[in-house]
Amino acid sequence: MPRAAADWTRGDMRETTLPNGVRILSESIPGVRSVTAGVWVRQGAAHESEELLGASHLLEHLVFKGTKRRSPKEIALSLERLGGSLDAFTSREHTSYQARVLTEHLPVALDVLADIVLEPLLRAEDLDLEREVVLEEISGMEDTPDDLVFELHADALWGGHPYGRSILGTRESVQGMSAGALHDLHATRYLGGELIIGAAGYLEHEALVEEVSRHFARIPGGAAPEVPTVASGAVGGERRVAREGVQTHLVFGMRTPPRSAEERFPLTLLTAAFGGGMGSRLFQRVREELGLAYAVYSFQSFFSRAGIVGVYLGTRPEWADRAASVTLGEYRRLAEGGLGDEELAEVKNQVKGQVMLSLESTGARLLRLVGSALFGEPRLTLDELLAAIDGVSRADVGECAARFFDPEGQTLLRLGPGAA
């Protein structure tokens, strides 16, 4: 069995890199009796060509249609019969396959994950069937305006950059996808240098490395693909898309620096204070004081090359202008005034509490562990993470508020009746 090329340890977190480039990460959590394990592939919508839009997501679906050793039903039952679960998702930059099981069933989970990741059949007849499933998924998104508005906003905000592409692809690209193209994608992207395998829960790192090596040490290496660079900051402007319905959906947003940038922590605090809960500025102003919306919230996403902070709200068409004006007014108030000492202290407590509560889940621990490797972040212990949040100053949030919450720089997408 190949020996590890490198070994890294910090607290309960460890990492081993196999000679073929596969990175194995673990976090030991003694107080639980389960493990969440996963395989991440550096392949997502942002890596696709125009002809292959949606290929990463379609491939993620197709691996569950059978392997050399398991039928689709056997894949489905392999962990369910043990009380565990198996799931997958595709994002802008990654495809992930995850399993949650009792600790004693971790070898079975890793065997199943390796089977679907490394040995899928990718048969043309299965593709014909799964293609229809994905087309239904696209139809469902198009019939859900509060999902569709985010797709349209991404296209407007990113201005042709791959971050603006739909993870699902288009009807045309999915209908035109061939089994050969998916075979090629699997052969060129599902390689050692593009895989990160992680596990969090009641486990021993050495045993994890041994099991992973049994399955993954034999595959060839490979270099991770790059996403094109993109500038952060304002794009601005408003786009209106007419659609029948009883609501108008609005999404505001601005590009930010990537996840590894120092602005991430102040932006997280600003997003929480702006629209991150019932006590936030937007919820209190737009919903509680004016009754202009039922759903109103801020959001953020950070990628390897850039990120986005924004706001969503849904309102009656006749109230859309006022709702947009009020929201932009709150943007201006935040951009010009930042957060006061008391509000900053409160939102720090809110975010720290959310972090600590979320990390009681092995799945959330795994996402944090692997995320740091995927995005090149410093590997922080929980205490260091909480200290980083506490270390954000009022000047830090004021600077980020002025740069990224300027109402004049927001890209606004309206979707609803008479929006055009």
> How distant, in Å, are the alpha carbons of 60, 233, 419, 420 from that of 237?
35, 13, 15, 14
Nearest to 152, CA basis, from 247, 241, 244, 50: 241
Q: Residue 118 corresponds to which tokens in the numbers above?
A: 């490394």
Map residue 12 onto helix, strand or coil. Answer: coil
Q: How many other C-beta atoms are found inside a 10 Å radius of the C-beta of residue 156?
A: 18
C-alpha dihedral, 257 to 262 to 267 to 272, nearest 10°: 140
How many Å apart are CA 212 and CA 206, to the nearest integer?
10
- Report residue 214 CA to chain centroid gap: 29
Catalytic residue among 15, 27, 48, 60: 60
Is 211 one of the annotated active-site residues of the chain? no
Beta carbons of 17 and 5 less than 8 angstroms apart: yes
Q: How many other C-beta atoms are found inside a 10 Å radius of the C-beta of residue 81?
A: 9
Please report the DSSP string for 211-231 in residue order.
HHHHHHTTS---PPPPPPP--
Instruction: Report helix, strand and coil shares of the chain as percent, to nearest 5.
Output: 50, 20, 30
Q: If you ran DSSP here, which 8-state letter would residue 193 be given?
A: G
Catalytic residues: 60
